[in-house]
Amino acid sequence: MTLTNQTAIVTGGARGIGAAITETLVAEGMQVMIADILDDDGKALADRLGERAAYVHLDVTNTDQWAAAVTAAEQSYGPVSVLVNNAGVLDFGAIADQDPASFRRVIDINLYGAWLGMHQTVPSMRRAGGGCIVNVSSTAGLMGYGNLGAYVASKWGLRGLTKTAAMELAPDQIRVCSVHPGPIATPMTAGFEDSVVAGQPIRRFGRPEEVARMVRFVVGEATYSTGTEFVVDGGATTGVTPEVHEPQ
């Protein structure tokens, strides 16, 4: 897939992994609509990246805001050919103790928000003649973690949704893959102890740009892959990882 002048939407694109993805795609010549609720961060990133990036406020659980984001991308750059569903939240709680509203919030943002993004963006991708959707899941979509039931459920669900979308959208020349980061140094993981990565073959937190390069590979190079998991985790899924505890 030639990336130059293609239009992308990156959710959660204002900071962390999303910002790294945005920067990487812009560097490849793409035009990126940064979609987030962090207005100051998003606008600042768009200003820094120049005319190939713009910002739109997006709560990924809001249908009207999704429609407005797709319209904004089309009006600014043309039909959307790449969607990166990166927005996500993390909340701790054992199954017996977690507040139901907290569980539902994680599912709504991480899973329903990605479904809604695909639902709203596919018509634009059809107008573009095809494209690629990358759903950012997690190693928590490949294995279990204690005290993270909501997050694990949302990321396993996203992995399964990716496979169904790949089957349904193949006739439209739209590929759908999932990317599964392990522990990455972002604001979401700030305060986590180094013990999180102690059992990995690569004993450090990953960098957002390492995930971004994987996303760029999936979008631009993995043209015979759809419904596939791409893992960037320092080897975390090679064996048993420690239980993750809420930062103090």
Taking Cα atoms as reference points, which of 94, 201, 199, 206 lies closest to residue 151? 94
Cα separation of 47 and 74, whole Å? 19
CA geometry: angle 125, 29, 2, nearest 5 deg = 55
Taking Cα atoms as reference points, which of 10, 29, 37 lies closest to residue 21? 10
Cα separation of 198 and 212, whole Å? 23
Active site residues: 151
CA of residue 155 relative to chain centroid, distance: 11
Residue whose token pair is 């103790």: 97
Fill in the DSSP letter of residue 169.
H
